[in-house]
Amino acid sequence: MQICFKQFSAATAKLTLEINDWQIESADSWALFSTDGDIGAILTPLLMSGETEQVAELSITGQLTKSRAKVVEVSLNSQQRLLEQVLELDDNEHIAPQDSHVSVFGLIFEQCHDQNLTQRLLTELDLVHLQHSYFTQLSTGESRRLMLARALAEGADLLVLDDPFAGLDVEHRKSLALYLEQLSRSMQLLMIVSREEDIPVWIDHVGLFSHGKLESVMSKADWDKHPVIAQIKAQSQEQSEQMMALLKRHRHQAKFDNPLFEIKHGKVAYSDKTIFTEVNWRIDNGQHWQVKGPNGCGKSTLLGLIFGDHPQCYSNDIHIFGKKRGTGETIWEIKKNIGMVSSALHLQYRVNCSALDVIVSGFHDSIGLYQQPTAQERKIASEWLNILHMSQFAKTSFRQLDYGQQRLLLIARAIVKQPTLLILDEPYQGLDYLGRRLMKNTLELIAKEHLSQLLYVSHYHEDSLPSIGRYLTFVPGEPQQGYQAVISYDDGFSPD
Ligand SMILES: Nc1ncnc2c1ncn2[C@@H]1O[C@H](COP(=O)(O)OP(=O)(O)OP(=O)(O)O)[C@@H](O)[C@H]1O
């Protein structure tokens, strides 16, 4: 697909895309790196729209010409839209969950109506073992692979991949990179990425965007020498220190005796498979942990047992904040002392409250805000918005913000009350480069100063936090036992 932008600008209430002069040749694959701002949220609908069609909610000036072609996207936004559709079907039409159209197989098949192609994509994207699972049961990495399979089943001349590696474990990232390389020989690809290492070597050109403006285009070789990364590192460090100062000004933390959490012989199994067994894990004051393992091994499930929203938390031997689970404590007593960021929570946060109220809701452990906040809570939340450079969105509805802005608010919501346990399950998903650096620096400072105990999940080595030296790693066991948990420590960390 040939695409040409001239003196072009498109704006939503939140972001402007500005491109003076950019020509994409139909044979070329591009990677777009955005230092800040979700350019995919504007660019993707523009590329997908028909020749003369205007994109709703965008005010456009300048010229965009495109040759006729089919454009298909894979993005966190499209994943969110699919989830909404699936949930709406479940809510409104009382369709039994066993109906094939919500199974992994059905969701791919409905795009192509071709059994052979569906089977091939299931194999190529390592989804065969999940073909009968329902979309809402999939782990983060599994859902990402399903979204790509659906896009490929649909067939495209140009495939727009917005953050395609987010949520994938190391092995799946490697195999996806190889897969995309092969795909790029038969299909034009445009990837929007927020991590330097996600730009594949085979990409032809890189476009660098800053604040939604195309700053420069360059070859992959020139990109590797570009100084932009060093500049951003300095900026994010400064913002993180402001956040830390804010946290220290309003310092608060509940104190509990050790252990804060303990699970003995932990097990989660469904009728058709066992996820993990024999998990023995104890978290004490002052400890920060990273939970590791491949997609689908049960990391989010285990964290869900701590947070109290997994149905099997009652069938397990769990002590949390000095009480045994199932002895009369309420879920709210537990949640009061936990801050949580995860893809599942992000998907659940489907309410229309304002950006400011999202942060305030962290004090009340609610999705949305149903209690009158105190003046102090509003003040602290405003200060957070200010540091995040989001004060102008204080009254904007959460759902009108783009995915990355929503994610920043949800991280602030988790941190704001300085919980005893801060659960960060792939917290950076959807964040741009600057947002990720900012939050990573902040989390490291929180860990270092022991404002909270961190429980952290990320598939990227570059996300490691120096203050986390304890690991629970899931490794495959016998099929009937599922994954097994191995506890380990960095050199220099004492196992207490
Ligand atoms: N109700 C259910 N029935 C059957 N399997 C389920 C159900 N709910 C979740 N699963 C499966 O449990 C496994 C563990 O999911 P979980 O989200 O904990 O994985 P994860 O380690 O966090 O993965 P990722 O790295 O992709 O985020 C997945 O294979 C998922 O498909």
Q: 311 C-alpha vs ligand 1 centroid, how far in Å?
A: 13
Q: What pLDDT sits at residue 239?
A: 79
Distance, in Å, from the CA atom of 474 to the CA atom of 302, rounded to the nearest integer, reads: 11
Buried b (16+ CB within 10 A) or exposed e, 358-391: bbbbbbbbbeebeeebeeebbebbebbbebbebe
From atom 24 of ligand 1, which residue's Cα is the shortest distance away? Answer: 295
Percentage of residues of the chain with pLDDT beyond 90: 53
Q: Is the pLDDT of residue 485 over 90?
A: yes
From atom 4 of ligand 1, which residue's Cα is the shortest distance away? Answer: 270
270 Cβ closer than 6 Å to some ligand 1 atom: yes
Q: What pLDDT sits at residue 263?
A: 97
482 Cβ closer than 6 Å to some ligand 1 atom: no
Q: Is the pLDDT of residue 384 over 70?
A: yes
Among 168-177, 241-250, 357-366, 460-469, the least confident range: 241-250
292 Cβ closer than 6 Å to some ligand 1 atom: no
Angle, vertex CA 149, rays to CA 196 and CA 99, nearest 5: 140
Tokens of 260: 């804060």
275 Cβ closer than 6 Å to some ligand 1 atom: yes
Phi, psi angles (nearest 5°) of residue 333: -60, -35
Q: Which of 49, 50, 44 is nearest to 73 (CA)?
A: 44
Taking phi first (over 0 means left), then psi (-120 to 50 degrees means alpha), and beta for anything else, what does residue 11 get?
A: beta
171 Cβ closer than 6 Å to some ligand 1 atom: no
139 Cβ closer than 6 Å to some ligand 1 atom: yes
103 Cβ closer than 6 Å to some ligand 1 atom: no
133 Cβ closer than 6 Å to some ligand 1 atom: yes
Q: What is the pLDDT of residues 296-317, one digit of tens each?
A: 999 999 999 999 889 899 899 9
406 Cβ closer than 6 Å to some ligand 1 atom: no
Q: What is the pLDDT of residues 112-145, one digit of tens each?
A: 999 999 999 999 999 999 999 988 889 989 999 9
Q: What is the pLDDT of residues 146-175, one digit of tens each?
A: 999 999 999 999 999 999 998 899 899 988
The single-letter DSSP state of residue 366 is: -
Distance, in Å, from the CA atom of 86 to the CA atom of 95, rounded to the nearest integer, reads: 10
Q: Which of 237, 232, 183, 189 is nearest to 211 (CA)?
A: 232
ipTM: 0.98
Q: What beta strand segments (E) does 367-452 contain? A: 421-425
Distance, in Å, from the CA atom of 398 to the CA atom of 400, rounded to the nearest integer, reads: 5
142 Cβ closer than 6 Å to some ligand 1 atom: yes
CATH class of 235-489: alpha beta
Mean pLDDT throughout 473-481?
92
- Beta pairing class for 453-457 and 421-425: parallel
Q: What pLDDT sits at residue 52?
A: 47
Tokens of 156: 């495209």
Strand order in the sheet with 213-219: 59-66, 3-11, 16-24, 213-219, 205-210, 30-34, 188-193, 158-162, 71-74
User: Between 200 and 283, whose confidence is greater?
Assistant: 283
Q: 268 C-alpha vs ligand 1 centroid, how far in Å?
A: 10
From atom 17 of ligand 1, which residue's Cα is the shortest distance away? Answer: 139
Q: Which pLDDT band, with edges at 50, 70 and 90, does 90 fall under?
A: low
Q: Which of 453, 408, 456, 446 is nearest to 302 (CA)?
A: 456
Cis peptide before 294 (omega within 30 of 0): no
Q: Is the pLDDT of residue 94 over 60?
A: no
Q: Are 458 and 428 in contact (CB under 8 A)?
A: yes
Domain range list for the chain = 1-70+159-226, 73-155, 235-489
User: Between 279 and 373, whose confidence is greater?
Assistant: 279
Q: Is the pLDDT of residue 387 over 80?
A: yes
User: Between 409 and 93, whose confidence is greater?
Assistant: 409
Distance, in Å, from the CA atom of 37 to the CA atom of 194, rounded to the nearest integer, reads: 10
Q: What is the pLDDT of residues 421-445, one digit of tens each?
A: 999 999 999 888 888 888 998 999 9
Distance, in Å, from the CA atom of 28 to the CA atom of 415, rounded to the nearest integer, reads: 43
Fold of 1-70+159-226: Rossmann fold (3.40.50)
From atom 9 of ligand 1, which residue's Cα is the shortest distance away? Answer: 137
295 Cβ closer than 6 Å to some ligand 1 atom: yes
Q: What pLDDT sits at residue 125?
A: 94
Residue type, 136: T
Q: What pLDDT sits at residue 53?
A: 55
Length of the chain in terms of residues written: 496
Q: Which helix (H) or strand (E) holds 267?
A: strand 261-269
Q: In a mutational test of the pocket of ligand 1, which residue from 126, 137, 307 has the highest number of ligand atoms less than 8 Å from its CB?
A: 137
Residue 495's SS3 state is coil
User: Between 92 and 410, whose confidence is greater?
Assistant: 410
Q: Is the pLDDT of residue 99 over 60?
A: no
Q: 296 C-alpha vs ligand 1 centroid, how far in Å?
A: 5
Question: For the packed helices 403-415 and 76-93, what is the interaxial angle rounded to 10 degrees?
Answer: 80
Q: Is the pLDDT of residue 232 over 70?
A: no
From atom 16 of ligand 1, which residue's Cα is the shortest distance away? Answer: 298
299 Cβ closer than 6 Å to some ligand 1 atom: yes
Mean pLDDT throughout 233-244?
76
Pure H helices in 125-227: 140-154, 170-183, 220-223
Q: What is the pLDDT of residues 182-214, one digit of tens each?
A: 999 889 999 999 888 788 888 889 999 988 999
Q: Are 305 and 267 in contact (CB under 8 A)?
A: no
Q: 386 C-alpha vs ligand 1 centroid, how far in Å?
A: 37
Distance, in Å, from the CA atom of 144 to the CA atom of 341, rounded to the nearest integer, reads: 18
Phi, psi angles (nearest 5°) of residue 431: -80, 150
Cα–Cα distances in angstroms (integers) from residue 18 to residues 32, 42, 209, 228, in the given order: 14, 10, 9, 19
Angle, vertex CA 388, rays to CA 382 and CA 352, nearest 5: 65
DSSP per residue over 189-206, as a string?
EEEEESSGGGS-TT-SEE
Residue 206's SS3 state is strand
CA 459 to ligand 1: nearest atom: 25
Angle, vertex CA 165, rays to CA 163 and CA 171, nearest 5: 180
pTM: 0.83
Q: Which pLDDT band, with edges at 50, 70 and 90, does 100 fall under?
A: very low
127 Cβ closer than 6 Å to some ligand 1 atom: no
Q: What pLDDT sits at residue 92?
A: 57
Q: 107 C-alpha vs ligand 1 centroid, how far in Å?
A: 18
Q: How high does pLDDT run on average in the chain? A: 88
Residue 208's SS3 state is strand
298 Cβ closer than 6 Å to some ligand 1 atom: yes
Identical topology for domains 1-70+159-226 and 235-489: yes
Q: Which pLDDT band, with edges at 50, 70 and 90, does 26 fall under?
A: confident
Q: In a mutational test of the pocket of ligand 1, which residue from 98, 132, 134, 139 has the highest number of ligand atoms less than 8 Å from its CB?
A: 139
Distance, in Å, from the CA atom of 278 to the CA atom of 43, rounded to the nearest integer, reads: 48
314 Cβ closer than 6 Å to some ligand 1 atom: no
DSSP per residue over 298-357, as a string?
SHHHHHHHHHT-SGGGTTSEEEETTEETTSS--HHHHHTTEEEE-HHHHHH-----BHHH
420 Cβ closer than 6 Å to some ligand 1 atom: no
458 Cβ closer than 6 Å to some ligand 1 atom: no
Q: Which of 204, 186, 190, 195 is nearest to 167 (CA)?
A: 195
Percentage of residues of the chain with pLDDT beyond 70: 92
CA 272 to ligand 1: nearest atom: 4
296 Cβ closer than 6 Å to some ligand 1 atom: yes
427 Cβ closer than 6 Å to some ligand 1 atom: no
Q: Is the pLDDT of residue 28 over 60?
A: yes
From atom 1 of ligand 1, which residue's Cα is the shortest distance away? Answer: 137
